[in-house]
Amino acid sequence: MTITKPRLAAAASLAAIGFSLVAVTACSSGSATVAGPGAAGASTPAAGAPAAAGQTSGKPLNGCTLVTPQELSQAVGVKYTAISGAGTLCNVTGASDTSSFSYAVNKEGGPLNTWSGTVATIKADDGSVTSVSGIGDRAAQGGAKEFAAESGGYIVVVINADFNVATASTFTRTKKIEKLLLSKL
């Protein structure tokens, strides 16, 4: 199946990394294996780890409730009208098609949710990956649409927040979104 709309392609890509943020296997073909929702360690805080702000320890993190559309709008300077989804994959609706984007928030842990797996997926999807300083404990951006940051044992992936706009190469919107989301964990 060929996806011709960039937003649909982005959603498909985020779905591939969002539900558990990837488990890359060492295959000679370079393919990636993705665990489905509810995989062990996918979003449950580890024993003794602090729960995210507004979350109850021991319960899965719902990344879609970390921020409101109004908080995103204020942080980024773009009008956002809704956040939909539950658990790890969240879709943000903007006032225009070019301002809509998706994000995922997952607890890092086990072989299925790793920083190295997330970076490998960004490189496979975007063709390149570059380390970025000043956001979380570590951050990386792809060539055009994907950006991830890790902080306090959580991995936050934002996709297409700067797609089809003048800020695509600098990830200006995405960096503001990442900082806001990380501040809520």
Mean pLDDT score, 71-88:
93
Domains and CATH numbers, the chain: 6-36+61-183 (3.40.1000)
Question: Mean pLDDT, the chain, as a whole number?
Answer: 74
CA 30 to chain centre: 22
Given a cut of 60, whether residue 38 has pLDDT beyond it is no
- Lowest model confidence (mean pLDDT) among 59-63, 159-163, 176-180: 59-63
Q: Please list the residues that pair with 141 across neighbouring strands.
A: 130, 147
Both tokens of 60, joined, read 């899965």
**111 compared with 97, residue with greater pLDDT:** 97
**180 compared with 22, residue with greater pLDDT:** 180
Output the DSSP codes for the chain.
Answer: ----SHHHHHHHHHHHHHTT--EE---TT--EE---TT-TTSSPPPTTPPPPTT--TTSPP-GGGSS-HHHHHHHHSS-EEEEEEETTEEEEEESSGGG-EEEEEEE-BTTTB-HHHHHHHHHHHHS-EEEESSSSSEEEEESSSEEEEEETTEEEEEESSSTTSTTTTTTHHHHHHHHHHHHT-
* CA atoms in the 13 A half-sphere facing the CB of 151: 21
pLDDT, position 61:
81
In the chain, the percentage of residues whose pLDDT exceeds 90 is 51
**Cα–Cα distance measured from residue 92 to residue 26, given in angstroms and rounded to the nearest whole number:** 33
pLDDT in tens, 114-162: 999 999 999 999 899 999 999 999 999 998 789 999 999 999 999 999 8
Contacts of 5 (CB under 8 A, 6+ apart): none
Of the ranges 14-18, 58-62, 88-92, which is most confident? 88-92
Any idea how long the chain is? 185
